[in-house]
Amino acid sequence: MHRALDPLWQGVPVSRLDWIILGGALAFVVLFGLWKGRRRKDAEAYLLSGRDARWTTICLSIMATQASAITFLSTPGQAYVDGMRFVQFYLGLPLAMVVLSVTVVPIFHRLKVFTAYEYLEGRFDLKTRTLAAVLFLLQRGLAVGLTLYAPALVLSVLLGWNLQVNLVLVAALVMIYTVTGGTKAVSWAQSLQMLIITGGMCVAGFMVVRQLPAGVSLPDALHVAGVLGRLNAIDTTFDLNTRYNLWSGLIGGFFLMLSYFGTDQSQVQRYLTGKSVAQSRLGLLANGLLKVPMQFLILLLGALVFVYYQFATPPVFFNPAAVAKARAGAEAATFQVAETQYRQATEARAEKAKGFLAARKHGNAAAESQARADLQAADARAQAVRAGAVEVIRRSDPSSDGKDVNYIFLSYVLHSLPAGLIGLVLAAVFSASMSSMSAEINALGATTVVDIWRRLLGRNDPAKEVWVSRIATFAWGCFALFFAQYASRLGSLVEAVNILGSLFYGTILGIFLVAFYVKRVKGGAAFWAALVAQAAVFACFAFTRISFLWFNVVGCFCVVFFALLFHHLAPPPAESEAILPCA
Amino acid sequence: MRIRVYPWRILFPLEPALGDCMTHPEDPPPILGSWNRIYALVLGVLVLCIALLTLFGRVFR
Question: A297-306, pLDDT tens digit by residue?
Answer: 999 999 999 9
Residue A167 — pLDDT band, cuts 50, 70, 90?
Answer: confident
Q: Which of B28, B38, B33, B51 is nearest to A286 (CA)?
A: B38
Mean of the pLDDT values across residues A541-548? Answer: 84
The yes-or-no verdict on residue A359 having pLDDT over 50 is yes
Angle (CA) A522 A527 A532, round 5°: 130
d(CA A306, CA A470): 44
Residues 6+ apart with CB under 8 A from A147: A68, A69, A70, A433, A436, A437, A440, A480, A497
Rounded to an integer, the average pLDDT of A382-386 is 92
Alpha-carbon gap: A285 to the closest alpha carbon of chain B (Å): 7
Question: Which among B12, B19, B35 has CB closest to A580?
Answer: B19
User: Higher-confidence residue: A30 or A405?
Assistant: A30
Task: Please judge whether A227 and B61 are an interchain contact, meaning their C-beta atoms are less than 8 angstroms apart.
Answer: yes
At residue B4, does pLDDT exceed 80?
no
Strongest mean pLDDT among A303-317, A455-469, A561-575: A303-317
Q: Based on the number of CB atoms within 10 Å of its own CB, is A289 exposed (0-12), middle (13-18) or buried (19 or more)?
A: buried
Per-residue pLDDT at A7: 44
- Whether A288 sits inside 8 A of B57 (CB atoms) is no
Dump pLDDT digits (tens) for A466-524. 899 999 999 999 999 888 877 766 655 556 777 777 888 889 889 988 988 887 888 88
The answer to whether residue A2 scores a pLDDT higher than 50 is no
- Phi/psi of residue A162, nearest 5 degrees: -65, 135
The answer to whether the CB atoms of A285 and B53 lie below 8 A apart is no
- HSE at residue A334, side-chain half, CA atoms within 13 A, is 16
Q: What is the pLDDT of residue B9?
A: 44
B60 touches chain A (CB under 8 A): yes
> Which residue from B6, B16, B21 is facing A577, i.e. has the nearest CB?
B16
Please tell me which of the candidates A119, A233, A515 has its beta carbon nearest to residue B57: A233
Q: Tens digit of pLDDT for each residue in A311-320? A: 988 889 988 8
Predicted ipTM beyond 0.85: no
Question: For A278, which of B21, B27, B42 is closest by C-beta distance?
Answer: B27
In percent, the amount of chain A with pLDDT more than 90 equals 41
Mean pLDDT confidence for A561-568: 91
Across chain A, mean pLDDT equals: 86
Would an 8 Å CB–CB cutoff place B34 in contact with chain A? no
In tens, the pLDDT along A261-299 reads 998 899 999 999 999 999 999 999 999 999 999 999 999
Task: State the pLDDT at residue A74.
Answer: 84
The answer to whether B40 faces chain A, any CB pair under 8 Å, is: no
> Could you give the C-alpha distances from A552 to A95, A200, A266, A276, in angstroms and in order?
15, 33, 18, 30
pLDDT in tens, A185-226: 999 999 999 999 999 999 999 999 999 988 888 999 999 999
